[in-house]
Amino acid sequence: MLDFSTEPDFQKKLDWAATFVRDEVEALDLLFPHGGDPYDTSNEKARAILRPLQDEVRRRGLWACHLGPELGGPGYGQVKLGLLNEILGRSYWAPTVFGTAAPDTGNAEILAMFGTAEQKQLYLQPLLDGDIVSTFSMTEPQAGADPKEFICRAWQDGDEWVIDGEKWFSSNARFAAFLIVMAVTDPDAAPHRRMSMFIVPADTPGVEIKRNVATMAETEELDEGTHGYMRYREVRVPLDAMLGGPGEGFAVAQARLGGGRVHHAMRTVGKCARMLDMMRERAVSRRTQGRLLGDHQSVQQFIADSWIELEQFRLLVLHTAWVIDTQPHGAARTRIAACKVAMAKIYHDIAQRALHLHGSLGTTNELPLADFYMGAPSLALADGPTEVHRTTIAKSLLKGYPAAEGLFPSEHIPPKRAAAAERYAHILSDDSLSGKAVTR
């Protein structure tokens, strides 16, 4: 039975988090609005405001909720995490305040599963404490997110691994204490057995940032973007820097992506809910043509369509989280892909309506809508292009599905009607009963 209800104690935590994010955390979005600000541990003014907020989250038992008790987290399931992330999605800084910022969450899981005791001490614990940030360095400039086209390679030389090649869109690289890098270690192996994963300290000789790339929603100041175009120039790391075994890089990557996509989807729900709130406020506040905006049918359609689409998407995400919580590992794969596909379109459509409803003001930097709207293209590309996930869904739905027997589809009416007539022939042939059936 599907059940997304929450026990009273957890609901109190959610209620507190909603008020805390709105009244306290959103101030950071206004004071430090640049894309890299939450990850810049050297910004002392931002950290002076951030740390007390993080301490309060810890006191409330909501710090790093994605982690199990063995790593200092409460061990919540995905449904609870989804409901919390829905609240955190209202603020760009909120994941950092609550210890759930990507890519640090996924990187922490990788280190917890595959790291050595020394790596956990050097990197995992400071990451969990929020003292450092990290980077997941996987995509490449010539290949995007397609691992079959990766050419950044690593080879063993004595008691070291040597990594050489380029990586693209390595988020937060200029702030990171370490990077987790995927490289080809066996180019002749099957596509998903070619790569391995490595932990690379950011100050290792040969680690270069060619430039920091800004997205359309970020500042235009030179080299102020948050996504690193990386060059690994024969970077040497010890043998135990490999996370997982040789050829297991793809499996290690998948271990961190599923839950993260669900959390990302619920944060999108939260941001869409914030835009819907703005639309509702605008509709009952602004007048045109002698009437409130909300009295115009087109505005009513904007608001109704946005609410319906958001409710549908929210239920899809919560159902996906429920499957992760209750079903065997891998059972939610198709639903996770569905969340990814639906997320970008719903976000884009609601953002566009909200911006349009606010007129010229919506296009300015005096409202957050323009910034929200410019984030829509990234949602369709992050964690793999939407088209790739559509293919994943289709292949899953078609795999093992039975083909029609014979020339016509199984829903072909003539043979089905004949079978029905044969089944009830004793009634249809009884002339004492009234009524006429189609038996041709």
Q: What is the CATH number of the domain that holds 389?
A: 1.20.140.10
Say which residue, 308 or 33, is predicted with more confidence.
308
Q: Mark whether 273 and 356 lie in a shared domain.
A: yes
Residues 325, 340, single domain; the answer is yes
CB 123 within 8 A of CB 132: yes
For residues 305 and 219, give the distance between their C-alpha atoms in angstroms, rounded to a whole number.
33
In-domain check, residue 326: yes
Does residue 219 carry a pLDDT above 70?
no
Rounded distance, CA 58 to CA 60, Å? Answer: 5
- Is pLDDT at 222 greater than 70 in this prediction? no
pLDDT of 159: 97
Q: Are residues 194 and 209 in the same domain?
A: yes
| H helix intervals, 130-170 | none
Examine the domain organization and report whether 242 and 266 are in the same domain.
no
Instruction: Please check whether residues 281 and 376 belong to one and the same domain.
Output: yes
Tokens representing residue 232 in the block: 């690994």
Q: If DSSP states are collapsed to H, E and C, what string results for 108-129?
A: HHHHHHHCCHHHHHHHHHHHHH
pLDDT in tens, 186-204: 999 998 899 999 999 999 9
Percent of the chain scored above 90 by pLDDT? 77
Instruction: Report the alpha-carbon distance of residue 288 to residue 405 in Å, rounded.
Output: 61
Inter-CA distances, 224 with 94, 214, 369, 374, Å: 21, 7, 22, 17
Domain boundary among 54, 79, 101: 101
Q: Please, which pLDDT band fits residue 361 given cuts at 50, 70 and 90?
A: very high
Per mean pLDDT, which range of 11-25, 111-125, 251-265 is the poorest? 251-265
Residue 3 counted as domain residue: no
Domain extent, residue 219, equals: 134-247
Q: Are residues 195 and 56 in the same domain?
A: no
Q: Which amino acid is at 246?
A: P
pLDDT reported for residue 171: 93
- Report d(CA 357, CA 345) in Å as an integer: 18
Tokens (6 digits) for 414: 């003539």
Residue 383 has pLDDT above 80, yes or no: no
110 belongs to a structural domain: no
Percent pLDDT > 70 in the chain is 97
Query: How far apart are alpha carbons 163 and 371 in whole angstroms?
Result: 37
Q: Residue 177 sits in a domain of what CATH number?
A: 2.40.110.10
Torsion angle defined by CA atoms of residues 39, 40, 46 and 49, in that order, rounded to the nearest 10 degrees: 50
| 220 has pLDDT over 60 | no
Q: Which of the listed residues 201, 222, 247 is the one where a domain comes to its end?
A: 247
Q: Is the pLDDT of residue 4 over 90?
A: no
Structure tokens at 23: 């009244």
Banded model confidence at residue 225, pLDDT cuts 50, 70, 90: confident
Looking at the structure, tell me whether residues 239 and 333 fall in a common domain: no
Residue 310 has pLDDT above 70, yes or no: yes
How confident is the model at residue 136, as a pLDDT? 95
Average pLDDT over residues 319-336: 92
pLDDT of residue 274 exceeding 90, the answer is: yes
Same-domain pairing of 67 and 91: yes
Residue 424 has pLDDT above 70, yes or no: yes
Kindly state the DSSP code that residue 76 receives in the 8-state scheme: -
Give domain status of residue 81, yes or no. Answer: yes
Residue 117 located in a structural domain: no
The pLDDT of residue 288 is: 94
Residue 379 tokens, joined: 């949602």
The sign one gets for the Cα dihedral 231, 237, 241, 247 is positive
In this structure, the answer to whether residues 417 and 431 fall within a common structural domain is yes
What confidence tens digit (pLDDT) does each residue in 236-261 have?
A: 999 999 999 999 998 888 776 656 77
Q: Are residues 143 and 236 in the same domain?
A: yes
- Helix (H/G/I), strand (E/B), else coil: 276: helix
Mean of pLDDT over the chain: 92
Residue 145 CB: number of other CB atoms within 10 A? 17
Compute the average pLDDT of residues 368-377.
93
Compute the average pLDDT of residues 165-169: 97
Pairing outcome for strands 195-201 and 178-184: antiparallel
- Find residue 183's DSSP bridge partners: 196
Q: Could you tell me if residue 124 is inside a domain?
A: no
Whether 36 has a pLDDT exceeding 90, the answer reads no
Q: Tell me the pTM.
A: 0.89
Answer yes or no: do 437 and 364 share one domain: no
CA distance 355 to 201: 42
Segment 356-385 shows an average pLDDT of: 91
Mean pLDDT in residue range 272-278 = 97
Phi, psi of 296 (to 5 degrees): -85, 135
Residue 321 confidence (pLDDT): 93
Pair 194, 144 in one domain: yes
Asked whether residue 129 is domain-assigned, the answer is no
Report whether 112 contacts 293 (CB < 8 A). Answer: no
Residue 291: CB partners within 8 Å, gap ≥ 6?
A: none
Q: Which residue has the higher pLDDT, 435 or 16?
A: 16
Number of domains composing the chain: 4
DSSP-assigned letter for residue 22: I
pLDDT of residue 223: 60
Does residue 407 lie in a domain region?
A: no
Mean per-residue pLDDT, 147-163? 96
